[in-house]
Chains A and B, each alone.
Chain A
Amino acid sequence: MSLSMDYFKKYYEFAAEKSVGDLKQIRAKFYDRFLAHGLPNRKSESWRYAKINSWFENSYACPSVERGLSDFHDESFMNEVDILVCDGVVNIVNTDIDVVVMDLKQALQTYPEKVMSHLTKSYNYNNTGNPFADLAAAAWSSGVFIDVPPGYTLVKPLKIVHVFTSEVFLNSYNIFNLGVGAKATIVEYFTGNEDISYAHNFTTSINLEAGAVLTNEKLQNSSPFAVVQDYRIITQKNSSEYVQRQYGFGAKVARDETLVNFIGDGAKNSFSGLSFAASCSWHSSHVKILHNSSNCHSDQKFHSLVSDRGESSFLGHIFVPKTIAATLAYQDSKSLLLGPLSRSNVKPYLEIFADDVVCTHSASVGQLDKGALFYLRARGMTESEAYSILLSSFASELIKDCQSDFLRLKAAEKVKKLSSLIFIEDGV
């Protein structure tokens, strides 16, 4: 049965029914565009490999019931949380944080202009089309609002954990705002009970004022039945710096998309991503960087591991318009296919209208180096041990710089665990 737009209606109505004023209007604008755009099809480069019909087979509940953490089985992160979002309900666990951290609904009362300006920006920037980002902004019922004031340096990282304990369709919208010269690290961890199916469709709007520095680290360890869509829209002003490190392991479908707009000179960013698409999962990472200002540098490094019937995609897109000077842009993607039925798709695009640029990209898809495998086995390791070591070292290039100990260890552990499964499943 093919998916119809009606499927999403109840989630929108659930979120929008109590809204009033500007919020109601902008929700409607997003929803109208979502409907007008319709579901993406194969003709769109960035959705070519997505089988959207299969994503929403379940009829998820609206995230209306407050549930406690008692329903969650894994508590390993409990010491690692400042903000806990459980099935969409935002709890500020650490009340000792001296920057503005609140539920988006509350922020709407306290900082209505800031929230509305982010929503408006999302509307204007997403005009080329991720319909699910429109849906998230139209139908959000949950969100975290973080505002770091100008000149302020947040010494300790802010840790947000998103937990799912019930079979819901959650749309959420988050805002990270850094004032002039502010510095912060935001760490996000996504998890859910392993035996349930849920959909998490969320947009994060990030704004870095001049000279602001944000490190954003996230690890997606969702249930193997979950559908997770993560859309980030980032504006960077003069000399700001953004670092994103992302690690994706769980979910049946995990799609992340980041759109960066350099709107001030001398800004920089770097992206590193590691994903492991095991069993039948489908992972897709998209980064689009609009070099709309001079002297900006961007750097992308994405590694993906694919085992069994997994599929991974990487779509990088660098855009440099006319008259922009001194652009540096790098892209690098590597995929390792570990099972005979594993698949990988790569599209590293460069679109350049200016001449003062140095852009390079490289992409490779292949299997584990047989010579290295042999070398390790000649030193007495079993094939499974050798695999594990080689995959861990492939991953470590991206994991080692992670500042959050929790994420770093978790990522290493997941790589180890998923590599050990290759042998059980394939019987090698």
Chain B
Amino acid sequence: MTDEAIMNKALSNEYPHGFETKVASNTFAPGLNEDVIRKISQKKNEPEFLLQWRLKAYKHWLNMPEPNWAKLDIEKISYDDIIYYSEPQSVANKPKSLDEVDPELLKTYEKLGIPLHEHAKLAGVAVDAVFDSVSVATTFKDKLADAGVIFCPFSEAVVSHPELIKKYLGSVVPYTDNFFAALNSAVFSDGSFVYIPKGVRCPMELSTYFRINTPQIGQFERTLIIAEDDSFVSYLEGCTAPMRTEHQLHAAVVELVALENAQIKYATVQNWYPGSKEGKGGIYNFVTKRGVCKGNSSRISWTQIETGSAVTWKYPGVVLKGDNSHGEFYSVALTNNYQQADTGTKMIHMGKNTKSTVISKGISAGHGVNTFRGMVRATPGAVDSVNFTQCDSLLIGNSCAAHTYPNIEIGNSSAAVAHEASTSRVSDAQLFYCRQRGMSEEEAVSLIVSGFCKSVFQKLPLEFAVEAQKLLEVSLEGSVG
């Protein structure tokens, strides 16, 4: 085999989650108008204020231009051809316990490695499973309730805790924020809601598993996490979708609120269907994620492993309002074949003595394009704020691209900001060295890449670090590993 052939083999990518589940669903006709929004709201038994909020967002969205500043290569999205709501019929009857959940759905999650059944549940992890537009099951609800933690589908929280929704929804990401946030605010269907009361350390990892199943559907979920004073929560989301030749839109909004001395750790393992080797199909993953460190000494960290989606467009940020608050962003983004990832973070320092850390590792292979876009801003009030950013790109093969666009805006002389970045390729010398020690080129590439990403993997909850490592290997090298 020539070097090139070996390299190609090493990078060949089989997407293991591309199956489709056959379930009967209640699905809206494609298209978007006020009626669709009213129908979604009605389905969810939403209070009036929420419907009005959705409609305002919709009106705002109608007057917004689609963003194109990231210069991503995106096929024109026809918003009238998207299905905005689909739920498996079995869920419409509101199963009261896991035993009533359609076995076909349970099987789907089992196949994805997320068993929901009581006897096989992931130890120490509570899971909310979102299938197309609705949550189908949430595990360990009782155990969490004992600790005072609310972990439930968003649509359930809207009914059971409208006061919390009213207070916090849109408080971090207003519907005016950007085109996709406005769209999401108008049509979001489900997602997860987490509330950690004062002084509570959430007794287990919380996790939401998103699955897109129905063709043509757009998934618009909304996640809201509120951590009251002195509380702690660690949350993880995972995402997969069937292989389809047309693109599908996923436009989520995630809002995090950390009050005094609270800590939220949010991790994402994003493995949406990336499209075929030729760049056909795949998910358009346009997500707005932002946390606000509202209270003093609060802390929010974003960790993301991005290996999926045809196009990813997301910049999880932290607004550091509270004094002594701390924001972190750790990211590994891998693009192979024709994937494009435009990701990074915004750290907005407003409080005194605030601190942020950004570590980003981008890997581009095949014809992949990987872009880091970062913003670090210190307002005049952010006295003694500190930022450290490190942002490295690794190139594999000669058809890929890696871009780095950091933006540093400092309006405060006591701020200290340091930014380091590098772009380099997997060197022939490194490959040869590993091969001389008996490893195949696939193994060598995988080893070098995992070394490159190590500092980010260390930030993942232990249970998922291994999974992330595997995911990277699969994305890079087919079955070897």
Contacts and interface: CB of A to CB of B under 8 A. Distances in A.
A360 B395 contact: no
B413 A338 contact: yes
Interface in B403-417: 403-417
A367 B398 contact: no
Interface in A308-353: 322-323, 335, 337-353
B131 to A, nearest CB: 39
Given A350-B403, A364-B418, A355 B398 contact: yes
B401 interface: yes
Contacts of B423: 350, 352, 357-360
A350 B404 contact: yes
B416 A367 contact: yes
A337 B421 contact: no
Interface size bracket, B side: 20 to 34
Contact of B421 (A341, A345, A348): A348
Contacts of B414: 340, 367
A408 B393 CA distance: 38
A100 interface: no
By secondary structure, the A interface counts as strand
Interface residues of A, number: 35
A414 interface: no
A354 B404 CA distance: 14
B396 A355 contact: yes
Contacts of A68: none
A343 B410 contact: yes
Contacts of A323: 398
B415 A337 contact: yes
Contact of A357 (B395, B405, B417, B421): B395
A356 interface: yes
Interface string A357-391: 11111111111000000000000000000000000
Contact of B410 (A338, A345, A359): A345
A304 B414 CA distance: 16
B421 A360 contact: yes
Contacts of B398: 322-323, 354-356
B422 interface: yes
B30 interface: no
B405 A366 contact: no
A319 to B, nearest CB: 9
A46 to B, nearest CB: 12
A353 B370 CA distance: 10
Contacts of B417: 363-366
Interface of B: 380, 393, 395-425
Given A343-B411, A366-B417, 7 more contacts: A337-B412, A341-B380, A345-B407, A346-B408, A349-B406, A358-B423, A367-B414
By Cβ-Cβ distance, the 4 closest A-B pairs, closest first, are A337-B413, A366-B416, A355-B395, A346-B408
30 contacts: A306-B413, A322-B399, A323-B398, A339-B413, A340-B414, A342-B413, A344-B409, A346-B407, A346-B419, A347-B405, A347-B408, A350-B393, A350-B402, A351-B401, A352-B395, A352-B402, A354-B395, A356-B425, A358-B424, A360-B420, A362-B420, A363-B406, A363-B417, A364-B417, A365-B408, A365-B415, A365-B417, A366-B416, A367-B414, A367-B416
